[in-house]
Amino acid sequence: MLEQNRNNHKLTIDARGVTIKFGTFTAVNQVSLTVSQGEVFGLLGPNGSGKTTLIRGLCGLLPLAEGAATVLGQDVATSAESVRTHIGYMSQKFSLYEDLTAQENMDFYSGIYGLTPREAKERQDDLVDMSGLGPYLERRAGRLSGGWKQRLALVCALLHQPKLIFLDEPTAGIDPVARRDLWNLLFRLSAEGISLVVTTHYMDEAERCARVGYIYMANLLAIGTPHDLKQMPGVTPPGTRWLEIFSHDSAALLEELRQRPGVRQATIFGQSVHALVDEDQNAATLGLDEKHVLETEPSLEDVFVTISRAQGMAAK
């Protein structure tokens, strides 16, 4: 035990070959990943790919069919309850009691996590300071705006000073300003040495993570820093390169590019089109103005789309 603890003391999460099944359906297949102390880890993947299931498994809520996971130095299979006292969790919908005031919500979670009244008071004061919730404490949670609800939910998840927080799509349905504020908060927590596991569909949020994992149909297809993922050989196969092509009518351009034999893949990316082309292709061969064509590295979205396709073809 001691040996294991020493080896893992910097790894907040150490999952090895984690498999979770619902009956005969495999929701998470052989996932291995590590999260270090203070790291912001992004978990990406389409809806239903197994992100939330993986998180539940790591919290000890679902039994592991195969593999093992150590969270905060404890085996989740045997010490689930102990693990849960040290982690925070913020679910997809900010699960607050809407008929209770912000203060009452905080009091409830303080009690649930076994804080003494004094600890609760101190901790709440700190977090209210940090989040700026002060003026809204007596307001019912149901009457707070989305951004404030989300902050309150985060505060409730932080009351017991967790060393690891799972945030399941924390920014879904939140305005851009509130999103940026939340990320600033998350980086502050990370600087304090708290590890964060965040699931998201936003690529700009994924770019902010120290490392990201991409789950597709129960399998972890890629894991690494955003930079590493863009360098994956599968994303830019030998003899190809990525071009970014600007156009006033990117939809029409996309259609046109997809007809061309030298273009392997093309997707719209804001005002431009990202295209994976054979190496011998350039502005001239594609019949485009050279001013509008740039060689580029793949975006994270390109990475995920490419490896999902490859996986889909391999499955066939």
Residue numbers of the site for another protein (CB under 8 A)?
Answer: 59, 61-63, 81-82, 84-85, 87, 89, 91-93, 95-100, 104, 107-114, 166
Measured from the CB atom, the residue of 81 and 249 that comes closer to another protein is 81
Measured from the CB atom, the residue of 61 and 284 that comes closer to another protein is 61
296, 302 contact by CB (below 8 A): no
Tokens linked to 195: 């590890």
* Exposure letters 231-270 (e unless 16+ CB within 10 A, then b): eeeebbeeebbbbbbbbeebeebbebbeebeebbbbbebe
Measured from the CB atom, the residue of 59 and 276 that comes closer to another protein is 59
Tokens linked to 102: 């912000």
- Provide the minimum distance between the beta carbon of 35 and another protein in the complex, in angstroms, as a whole number: 17
Tokens linked to 282: 């350039």
- Provide the minimum distance between the beta carbon of 10 and another protein in the complex, in angstroms, as a whole number: 24
- Provide the minimum distance between the beta carbon of 22 and another protein in the complex, in angstroms, as a whole number: 12
CA distance 40 to 47: 21
CA distance 217 to 161: 34
- Provide the minimum distance between the beta carbon of 215 and another protein in the complex, in angstroms, as a whole number: 20
Give the CA-trace dihedral at 181, 183, 184, 190, to 10 degrees. Answer: 150
Nearest CA-CA partner of 255 in 241, 236, 275: 275
- Provide the minimum distance between the beta carbon of 139 and another protein in the complex, in angstroms, as a whole number: 13
Q: Which residues make Cβ contacts (< 8 Å) with residue 234, sequence separation at least 6?
A: 306, 307, 310
- Provide the minimum distance between the beta carbon of 5 and another protein in the complex, in angstroms, as a whole number: 18
Measured from the CB atom, the residue of 87 and 245 that comes closer to another protein is 87
Beta sheet of 66-71, edge-to-edge order? 74-75, 66-71, 11-22, 25-36, 219-224, 211-216, 40-44, 195-199, 164-168, 87-90
Measured from the CB atom, the residue of 59 and 127 that comes closer to another protein is 59
CA distance 198 to 153: 15
Measured from the CB atom, the residue of 93 and 227 that comes closer to another protein is 93
- Provide the minimum distance between the beta carbon of 2 and another protein in the complex, in angstroms, as a whole number: 20
Measured from the CB atom, the residue of 153 and 223 that comes closer to another protein is 153
